[in-house]
Amino acid sequence: MSVDQATVRRIAHLARIAVEDSEVEHLRGEINAILAFVEELADVDVEGVAPMTSVIPMKMKMRVDEVTDGDIAQDVVANAPEREDNFFVVPKVVE
């Protein structure tokens, strides 16, 4: 697969990158090199290779998934300009 100058400009536009006309040809070469490398990866034989999540075998640390307030509600609202119990008081903005 090969990209043309219009495609380079479109990619730059989508990425919100300002590209000068003098840079387009250089970027075209770089993008084409990247795409050629990706095409090479398609030729790699991965038959019998198990999917990996890491390059070294490791067991993920597990913990109980429980919801807590951290027991620091008073500390969280301590610097609030106005509060009520453990809640911030804010001006009403919706009628």
pLDDT of 37 reads 95
Confirm if 2 and 32 have CB atoms less than 8 A apart.
yes
User: What's this model's pTM, rounded to 2 decimal places?
Assistant: 0.51
pLDDT of 68 reads 79
With b meaning 16 or more CB within 10 Å and e meaning fewer, what string describes 33-63?
A: eeeeeeeeeeeeeeeeeeeeeeeeeeeeeee
- List per-block mean pLDDT (blocks of 10 residues) for the chain, which spans 95 residues: 92 95 95 94 90 82 83 87 90 87
Kindly state the tokens that stand for 82.
């106005």
Per-domain residue ranges for the chain?
5-41
pLDDT of 50 reads 86
- How many residues appear in the chain? 95
